[in-house]
């Protein structure tokens, strides 16, 4: 299977209006920047996006939100984005808040073919409303279902030509569990090496989960919020 695409635009060319996307990243760290920009250029609309957050007002997934390409967000953290707030309060944007660990596990379950799992997180809160609960070993748990999307967009540091992925430090974040949590996983990477050049013991996501690869470019490595100490 030919996995390497010539550009981010080519890699996302068949993503239709109304698609459900599972997107890696944490804040502005480990975002598939080139793939997000390509979706913006494509103008695809009515997207449902599963991601820890929706970037900032001007960067990350916030670019799609500002262009009104997003119908629904399934997220853990929704701060740092004024447009997100405005669209939610006006009723333009549907939002499902999910505890961060639960979101990661739901995506991992979707990638692993797990039918559901019980967690104590959210018991007794709005998170558990309408969901099955069980008492196990004297503690109450809520049943959470796996997340599966149409396309998963992730960012990795290196890949080989088969699509084995390696992440770099904290940029790994949600990318690992979201790779494979969709029918088609598209990985944007900083470097593509020949098969055999990656240490097998150091591979974070095996190639079986990855359908498309694109070499990213023009990374700006933005700082989400710059803070400095006052002078003493």
Q: What is the mean pLDDT of residues 26-45?
A: 96
Q: Report, at the CATH architecture level, how domain 4-115+146-215 is classified.
A: 3-Layer(aba) Sandwich (3.40)
Q: What is the mean pLDDT of residues 51-70?
A: 94
Q: Which of 158, 157, 155, 131 is nearest to 144 (CA)?
A: 131
- What is the C-alpha to C-alpha distance for residues 39 and 52, in angstroms, rounded to an integer? 18
- What is the C-alpha to C-alpha distance for residues 165 and 176, in angstroms, rounded to an integer? 9
**Residue-level pLDDT at 183:** 97
pLDDT in tens, 64-114: 999 999 999 999 998 888 999 999 999 999 999 999 999 999 999 999 999
pTM exceeds 0.75: yes
């Amino acid at each position: 299977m030919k996995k390497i695409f010539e550009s981010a635009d080519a890699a996302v060319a068949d993503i239709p209006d109304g698609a459900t996307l599972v997107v890696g990243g944490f804040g502005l760290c480990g975002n598939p920047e080139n793939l997000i920009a390509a979706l913006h250029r494509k103008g695809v609309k009515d997207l449902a996006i599963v991601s820890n957050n929706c970037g900032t007002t001007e960067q990350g997934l916030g670019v799609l939100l500002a262009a009104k390409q997003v119908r629904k967000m399934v997220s853990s953290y929704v701060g740092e984005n004024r447009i997100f707030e405005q669209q939610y309060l006006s009723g333009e944007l549907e939002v499902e808040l999910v505890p961060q660990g639960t979101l990661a596990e739901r995506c991992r379950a979707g990638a692993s073919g797990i039918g559901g799992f019980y967690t104590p997180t959210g018991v007794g809160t709005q998170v558990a409303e309408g969901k099955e609960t069980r008492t196990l070993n004297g503690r109450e748990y809520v049943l959470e279902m796996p997340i599966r999307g149409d396309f998963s967009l992730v960012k990795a540091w290196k890949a080989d030509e088969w699509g084995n992925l390696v992440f770099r430090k904290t940029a790994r974040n949600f990318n690992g569990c979201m790779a494979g949590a969709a029918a088609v996983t598209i990985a944007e990477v900083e470097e593509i090496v020949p098969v055999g050049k990656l240490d097998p013991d150091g591979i974070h996501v095996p190639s079986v989960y990855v359908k498309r690869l694109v070499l990213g470019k023009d990374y700006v490595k933005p700082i989400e919020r710059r803070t400095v100490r006052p002078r003493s």
